[in-house]
Chains A and B, each alone.
Chain A
């Protein structure tokens, strides 16, 4: 998912207010920005929504990498539209976070100085055109698993942003699968590229859900607040169960020798990803962490004169209008 290992804060508020707040959540009420909420709920949500927003924004980079090299005009238009959607998702989420009292610039600054994270998945490179298919199919597919239940999250603006996002995500996954299908049914070389993309993205996609959090206190608190709806393991299992038959249809092999149908649980048994790799990527040592951060920092620096210029123009025009009145 796009928000991984979000730590919850401990509550220090008045127990009576806390109980009343919890009762509202348990009754399925939405919490709106100006209403009373525990400080810990507010802080945890800023962290979670902020991380989610950053992931949408940084997530444009691996796909943007292929826009100029898309093999057909149609694929190029599709990829452009998809990447533009991701920018939109980032913006919906930043706005939701801002209703909690954090400014956009503050969020941006925290991404650029590394205090806030984005999903580990975007630190992997997109080496071939087939990777663009794998990203849409697997990465957006994994994101959907997490985002669909979050439409019912307790915080109103977050829930509404999720509803908008989910409406758009299904196009993302389908265009990815469609691209993979074209590759998998193409020449032997193209099919090999599709298999290679699946091989490289399978485990990073499984890592998106984060390590098992069955016993995590953060997770328990977040679930009580309904800002997390399922455990990481539940979502990962659902993702594997959904994806295996899709891969079989393409004639591609999931790179896992231990993948076997388990009749008892009605799902697939599968190998865990290498969690030490996950922690390394989070620490900044993934294949593309430096590139991604540099690209964001450069975009922010290079845009500064433009942001300021437009602001200066807006102030001047406003002054001129006042003078004319």
Chain B
């Protein structure tokens, strides 16, 4: 049980015009077979029009312990949202 196939993350574009979305992972010896396996494992019912595979080892993720410092700075910037601004009714839709 020595040569376990590496793990790949699978991303699928569900329909034309949408982003690829992470759907899960699988094991495969190389990229080409990872795509074929992804076809069989994740698109048996026409769930996709395009597949990306990425070696899981190549993904860099933010760490959960950094959640505060990473995302909190956005919390107090309410002026980034359109609702922060009052537009008089007379001006009409904006």
Chain A interface (Cβ < 8 Å from any Cβ of B) = 32, 34-36, 81, 84-85, 88, 91-92, 95, 98, 103-105, 108-109, 160-161, 164, 168, 307-308, 310-311, 313-314, 317-318
Contacts and interface: CB of A to CB of B under 8 A. Distances in A.
Given A91-B26, A95-B25, A104-B27, A311 B64 contact: no
Contacts of B63: 34
B83 interface: no
Contact of A109 (B1, B7, B29): B1
Contacts of A318: 30
A108 B44 contact: no
Given A36-B64, A88-B44, A91-B41, A311 B25 contact: no
Contacts, number: 52
A85 B29 contact: no
A164 B33 CA distance: 22
A314 B30 contact: yes
27 contacts: A34-B61, A34-B64, A36-B64, A81-B44, A84-B40, A85-B44, A88-B40, A88-B44, A91-B41, A92-B24, A95-B7, A95-B24, A95-B26, A98-B7, A103-B4, A104-B4, A104-B27, A109-B1, A160-B24, A168-B45, A307-B3, A307-B29, A310-B5, A310-B30, A310-B33, A313-B29, A313-B30
Given A36-B64, A98-B25, A307-B29, 19 more contacts: A35-B64, A85-B44, A88-B40, A88-B41, A91-B41, A92-B24, A92-B41, A95-B7, A95-B24, A104-B27, A161-B24, A307-B5, A308-B3, A310-B5, A310-B29, A310-B30, A310-B33, A313-B29, A314-B29
Nearest to B3: A311
Interface in B6-38: 7, 24-27, 29-30, 33
A4 B25 CA distance: 26
Main secondary structure of the interface of A (DSSP, over half): helix
Contacts of A98: 7, 25
Given A32-B64, A91-B41, A104-B27, A311 B5 contact: yes
A85 B41 CA distance: 8
A108 B5 CA distance: 13
| List of 6 A-B pairs having minimum Cβ-Cβ separation, nearest first | A314-B30, A310-B29, A314-B29, A311-B3, A105-B1, A35-B64
A108 B1 CA distance: 9
Contacts of A84: 40, 44
